[in-house]
Amino acid sequence: MRDEILLDVDNLSKSFTLTRSLGDVLRSRTPKVDAVSDISFTLKRGETIGIVGESGCGKTTLGRMLLKLIEPTGGKITFAGQDLSALSHEEELAFRRRAQLVFQNPFDALNPHFTIRRSLYEPLFNTRVPEDKHDRMVAEALVRVQLDGMMHLLDSYPHQLSGGQLQRVVLARALVLQPDFIVADEPVSMLDVSVRAGILNVLREVRDTMGLAAVFISHDLALVRYVCERTITMYLGSVVEDGPTKDVVTNPLHPYTRALVQAVPVPSVDQSHEPLPLTGGLPDARNPPPGCRFSDRCPLADDGCRLGRPALREVAPGRRVACFKVPSLA
Amino acid sequence: MLLSVKDLKIHYKTRKGPVHAVDGISFDVPEGKVVGVVGESGCGKTTAVRSLLRVMPSVAAFAGGEAVFDGRDILKLSEREMNDLRWRDIAYIPQSAMNALDPVWRVGDQIVEVLVKRGGMKKAEAKKRAEELFAMVGLEMKRLRDYPHQFSGGMRQRASIALSLALNPRLVIADEPVTALDVIIQRQVLDTFSRLQREFGLSVVLVTHDISVVAYVCDYVVVMYAGKVVEKGPVRDVLTKPSHAYTIGLYNAFPELSADEERELSPIEGGPPLLFHPPEGCRFRARCPFATEICKQEPVEVQVGPEHYSLCHRAHETAELREQAKDPAVWRGVVTA
């Protein structure tokens, strides 16, 4: 069961059409931006994958496609053997029950007019779970997020809760339907450091006890390291590195992953103040640099990198990298 | 000492009675140094530093203490004297640069306005200075003509920094300047900020909830909890020898890349107390795994090293507590209420 593939992402792409300027209209052009281009990976049942990258790299767009919140413009997602683009109404309802999202900002993820109780029961009604099961499922979800000692919170409104409590409620709402798959988009970035640890521990526990497959989106590798077995690095819409988290973190191969590792904040005075091995910011996704998309910021780039686009290739068992400069390790 | 805050108290007036948001804090900001103020949301750190500019919500009022900036008590200045100080001597970088810039004005015009109105410059001169400021923070000159929505988060933060430095202030108060940014941009903005700080010998008060930011840029750190300063001292001493249970807890809650994968993080359970009626004794007591009978009494500040102070009854035993605190089990189930 563990090795069964739950989610198969095949050459997934998403491009957004931009607002056309007068010039574009006159020349009958439609400017596009590729938010995600040709991403392929598989997620096994019970596996957790971290997706890291800067703001604007397409990680959130990817997460939303995985949950069928937006439709891809290319490629295919297969969830438990079913093509997500060809679901019947009933199948889609079942999918909504099995796949859930944990939002980034707990302060506006819950309806302020709903009590916590109503927010937690809502998904059960929406997906037509028989009513006699509701109380038990909510109680279980509350145990999972360690809010079971806080039953009095159920009749409170979101503004009466702290950030940490709210994020536990958001998490409980995602877990209440006992999904097989969740996407957590920066679930702790809005929280204080002292509270983060609690949420990360809950995520870890859920991973270990519920056998849930999860995609955890973050820009901070230290957080990904804490909850994910596998890590995918994205840069400007493409995967540049993929491998077991431990290997990616201790021996990053792609120059971009190396910069991400070096940028991880550490609470120590004796840390390197060396400038990061990359320059500038994320380029404009409307006109990405030719060749390797990282070439204009990369310390290793040469003319070859600006000509061709490196493919994602396997350099060691389970490790894929898209860089000309990385030799095969096998 | 450029700024010396002594026993500062700020109360919020509410229908349920005064909230003791800042309850007798003291700290110093030496010339040319960066002082980090860390603590959780609601610990009073933003209230405390904004009061240094006397920019406070109408319900907030000083309830005692002093804040001496360059020999003058900020609390006692007239509004006019205060206005002279703002931006020229004390500049502010607000939380979330996203909202700090006016969305309907070009970024360049906003900088020019400050230079003309507050700095008394001619428009042409101000334009030149704006270009200079943009170059300083690493933004392209042509972006002066852009509107804030055309900037990325990191660029907006750089623009806010440029804006704060426009009139060569002596003290910069930065409130969570990098919190909403991702790690790479955060690092680059902090690098720029540190470079400018050293170049101009700026004194900085930097508010954050993230001890890694403090570790990266600060010389001194002030740890706040529930309206009180619970620990303060040179960054190195506070981070290597945290001497208050709360600081020790903050450290253990921080995920580290280099750390062993199996190491379990220890959250500090529960939340800070409500400050209508602050609890008697140590305010961290209810969440502290090391609390004993003595903690029900009001703690007094003890010196634990050169310039290093702690407001913990057990400050003299912290070497031992630090060892015990490494076990996550110690932190579990502390909060009973």
ipTM of the complex: 0.86
Question: Would you say residue A270 lies in a domain?
Answer: no
**Within this chain, do residues A204 and A256 fall inside the same structural domain, yes or no?**
no
* DSSP E strand boundaries for B14-136: 19-29, 34-38, 60-69, 72-73, 90-93
Question: Would you say residue A237 lies in a domain?
Answer: no
**B229, B247 contact by CB (below 8 A):** no
**Within this chain, do residues A181 and A320 fall inside the same structural domain, yes or no?**
no
Q: Domain total for chain A?
A: 2
* Contact list, A267 vs chain B (CB under 8 Å): 211-212, 214-215, 239, 251, 254, 256
* Distance in Å, alpha carbon of B301 to nearest chain A alpha carbon: 23
Q: pTM of the predicted model, to two decimals? A: 0.89
**Within this chain, do residues A11 and A159 fall inside the same structural domain, yes or no?**
yes
- pLDDT tens-digit readout, B72-116: 999 999 999 999 999 999 999 987 766 788 999 999 999 999 999
> In the predicted model, what is the mean pLDDT of chain A?
90
Compare all CA atoms of chain A with the CA of B266 and give the residue at the minimum distance: A197
| Residue A49: predicted pLDDT | 96
| Residue B125: predicted pLDDT | 94
**A84, A95 contact by CB (below 8 A):** yes
* Contact list, A259 vs chain B (CB under 8 Å): 184
The CATH number linked to A44 is 3.40.50.300
Residue A55 has pLDDT above 90, yes or no: no
Question: Would you say residue A177 lies in a domain?
Answer: yes
* Chosen from A105, A165, A193 to mutate, greatest number of chain B CBs within 10 A: A193
Q: What separation, in Å, do the N-terminal and C-terminal C-alpha atoms of chain B show?
A: 43
Give residue B78's identity as a one-letter amino acid code.
S
**Tokens standing for B181?**
């940014």
Residue B336 has pLDDT above 60, yes or no: no
**Bridge partners (DSSP) listed for residue B68:** B4, B73
**Tokens standing for B85?**
């100080």
- Angstrom distance (rounded) from CA A259 to CA A239: 15
* Chosen from B207, B216, B257, B332 to mutate, greatest number of chain A CBs within 10 A: B257
- pLDDT tens-digit readout, A82-139: 999 999 999 999 999 999 999 888 888 999 999 999 999 999 998 888 999 999 999 9
Q: Is the model more confident about A330 or about B66? A: B66
**Within this chain, do residues A47 and A163 fall inside the same structural domain, yes or no?**
yes
Q: Residue A9 belongs to what H/E stretch? A: strand A5-17
**Helices and strands, counts by H and E, chain A:** 11, 12
Question: Would you say residue A181 lies in a domain?
Answer: yes
**Within this chain, do residues A141 and A174 fall inside the same structural domain, yes or no?**
yes
Residue B151 has pLDDT above 80, yes or no: yes
As a whole number, mean pLDDT of residues A54-77 equals: 93
As a whole number, mean pLDDT of residues B171-177 equals: 93
**Within this chain, do residues A216 and A133 fall inside the same structural domain, yes or no?**
yes
Question: Would you say residue A71 lies in a domain?
Answer: yes
Alpha-carbon torsion, ordered A17, A22, A23, A28, to 10 deg: 60
Question: Would you say residue A312 lies in a domain?
Answer: yes
| Residue B278: predicted pLDDT | 85
| Burial of A215 (C-beta count, 10 Å sphere; 0-12/13-18/19+) | buried
**Within this chain, do residues A199 and A315 fall inside the same structural domain, yes or no?**
no
| Residue B337: predicted pLDDT | 46
- Angstrom distance (rounded) from CA B48 to CA B57: 12
Question: Would you say residue A241 lies in a domain?
Answer: no
**Within this chain, do residues A285 and A198 fall inside the same structural domain, yes or no?**
no
- Angstrom distance (rounded) from CA A322 to CA A241: 6
- Angstrom distance (rounded) from CA B266 to CA A197: 6
Q: Quick check: A64 contacting B, CB < 8 Å?
A: no
**Within this chain, do residues A210 and A257 fall inside the same structural domain, yes or no?**
no
Which structural domain range is residue A258 located in?
A: 252-262+280-330
**Within this chain, do residues A158 and A12 fall inside the same structural domain, yes or no?**
yes
- Beta strand pairing status for A48-52 and A213-218? parallel
Q: Residue B50 belongs to what H/E stretch? A: helix B45-51
**Within this chain, do residues A99 and A153 fall inside the same structural domain, yes or no?**
yes
**Within this chain, do residues A195 and A289 fall inside the same structural domain, yes or no?**
no
Question: Would you say residue A59 lies in a domain?
Answer: yes
